[in-house]
């Protein structure tokens, strides 16, 4: 890829055309991701992160001043320098969800950059390594070129009861297979990688806390998406065949939904030392995972709150289109959806407002509240979907196709029998129902449950960060029980 700065949607798409990366979809190599119907909607969603940064109305939210150079940069490449930065991040995510009704895919890379920034600083302090300077150099390149970074966190893990080094196949966790004078060689794979096929750089991070026996798996590196040995296999999504068959049945044809996840394989990929930011420092693997998880869990009340705003609007239109918007039970369900949405957004705001400065100077969201934010999403998103299905009716699961609507033979029946109130065209009603279906389907729910860690991961953090002993002290004191030293 050329080194020019990416500023516009057109720049971004052209930069992807210039990538010579190996992307496969249903067994066939994709010649040009920018022209493949399964991938185009995800590219459109990511492109909004570039376009809104140029919009005078949103520029202040979408950009920041680099603490490295002082230059204006896209906020998706910024290292948080204040609580205000943390708050602007969540406001930016809700805005982008409004604009796309989808995942815009740059969050994982942003969170990975912020996690590595502070952790490399602290690694250097303890071990005398030179990772932080190398990472700052890489970061400045990312900022100057405004490239899209995918954070590669999730290893495939194999037998979860075994440590990485105890697996029958060590490649089930990304690991170092060779150390050379000029760099290292890594092998393995990362699963569910949001936006990987339309990113420029892959930021590889460890996925779990590692012990000394697993030090070959304690590796953090930056790899170009088109580096030799990188292979991406694009994942299936619910109803993804519809992207090949028209527009209306997709529900959100321009931006689709979720993030175009892929399995990213590293088949003996060489990484020069200047792009290696952790190599064997297993004592910092847990901190890196925790920092990344906190930043990423901070997001969910904002991005999912923004998507919920769109879903609420679609449901409000759906009930208007059949003449029941004034019914008390309908209004109560809409009110409940708004309540749930603002509750989870408040979690994102709260963990940002209670953030604090790390030794590196970068700011960090409150980890306990960030975990509460994500854990609430794993429940609330299903309740929002349930209410959406309730309000929309069973028709969202049984609608005839767009081809039927436009058929010369049966189209008139679809037009006639799916009509709602007099003044709303049948096609408009169908479009809204398909949007609700799209936003409450299987892939969207699974991502909300498992993205940024499944619910049990948050419960583990509750017990670690919840200060249970202090709570017991409070209870003993008020009960009149003397503290035991």
pLDDT < 70 regions, the chain: 1-2, 484-485
Q: Would the pTM of this model clear 0.85, i.e. be above it?
A: yes
DSSP letter assigned to residue 155: B
What are 464's two structure tokens?
């670690």
Pick the CATH number of 287-475 from 1.20.140.10, 1.10.357.10, 2.40.50.140, 3.40.50.920: 1.20.140.10
How much is the pLDDT for 4?
A: 86
Ordered by start, the domain boundaries in the chain are 287-475
Q: How far apart are CA 116 and CA 132, in angstroms?
A: 8
324 near 248, Cβ under 8 Å? no
| Sign of CA pseudo-dihedral 67, 68, 73, 79 | negative
The position carrying tokens 């963990």 is: 351
Q: How, if at all, do strands 201-204 and 149-152 pair?
A: parallel
E strand or H helix at 183, and its extent? Answer: strand 183-193
List, by residue number, the catalytic residues: 103, 107, 194, 261, 296, 300, 303, 447
Alpha carbon 53 to its chain centroid, in Å, reads: 19
How much is the pLDDT for 484?
A: 67
């Amino acid at each position: 890829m050329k080194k020019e700065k990416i500023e516009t949607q057109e720049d971004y798409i052209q930069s992807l055309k210039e990538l010579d990366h190996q992307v496969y979809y249903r067994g066939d190599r994709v010649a040009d991701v920018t022209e493949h119907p399964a991938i185009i909607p995800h590219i459109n969603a990511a492109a909004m992160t570039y376009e809104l940064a140029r919009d005078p109305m949103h520029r202040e939210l979408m950009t920041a001043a680099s603490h490295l150079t002082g230059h204006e940069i896209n906020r998706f490449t910024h290292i948080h320098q204040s609580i205000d930065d943390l708050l602007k991040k969540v406001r930016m995510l809700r805005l982008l969800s409004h604009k796309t009704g989808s995942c815009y895919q740059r969050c994982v890379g942003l969170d990975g950059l912020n996690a590595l920034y502070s952790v490399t600083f602290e690694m250097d302090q303890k071990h005398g390594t030179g990772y932080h300077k190398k990472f700052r150099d890489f970061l400045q390149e990312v900022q100057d070129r405004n490239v899209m970074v995918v954070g590669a966190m999730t290893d495939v893990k194999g037998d979860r009861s075994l440590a990485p080094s105890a697996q029958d196949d060590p490649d089930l966790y990304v690991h170092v297979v060779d150390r050379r004078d000029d760099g290292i060689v890594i092998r393995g794979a990362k699963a569910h990688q949001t936006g990987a096929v339309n990113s420029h750089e892959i930021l590889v991070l460890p996925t779990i806390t590692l012990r000394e026996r697993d030090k070959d798996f304690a590796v953090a590196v930056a790899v170009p998406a088109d580096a030799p040995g990188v292979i991406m296999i694009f994942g299936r999504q619910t109803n993804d065949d519809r992207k090949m068959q028209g527009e209306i049945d997709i529900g959100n044809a321009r931006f689709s939904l979720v993030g175009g996840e892929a399995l990213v394989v590293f088949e003996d990929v060489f990484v020069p030392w200047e792009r290696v930011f952790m190599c064997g420092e297993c004592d910092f693997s847990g901190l890196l995972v925790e920092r990344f998880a906190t930043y990423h869990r901070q997001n969910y009340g904002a991005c999912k709150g923004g998507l919920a705003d769109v879903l609420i609007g679609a449901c409000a239109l759906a009930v208007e289109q059949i003449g029941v918007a004034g019914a008390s039970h309908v209004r109560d369900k809409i009110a409940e959806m708004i309540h749930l949405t603002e509750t989870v957004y408040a979690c994102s705001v709260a963990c940002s407002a209670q953030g604090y400065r790390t030794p590196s100077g970068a700011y960090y969201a409150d980890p306990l509240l960030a975990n509460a934010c994500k854990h609430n999403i794993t429940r609330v998103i299903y309740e929002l979907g349930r209410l959406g299905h309730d309000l929309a009716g069973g028709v969202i699961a049984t609608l005839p196709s767009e081809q039927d609507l436009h058929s010369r033979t049966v189209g008139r029946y679809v037009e006639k029998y799916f009509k709602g109130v007099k003044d709303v065209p049948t096609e408009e009603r169908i479009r809204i129902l398909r949007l609700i279906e799209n936003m409450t389907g299987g892939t969207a729910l699974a991502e909300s449950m498992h993205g940024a860690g499944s619910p049990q991961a948050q419960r583990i953090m509750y017990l670690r960060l919840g200060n249970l002993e202090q709570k017991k002290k409070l209870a003993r004191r008020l009960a009149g029980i003397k503290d035991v030293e």
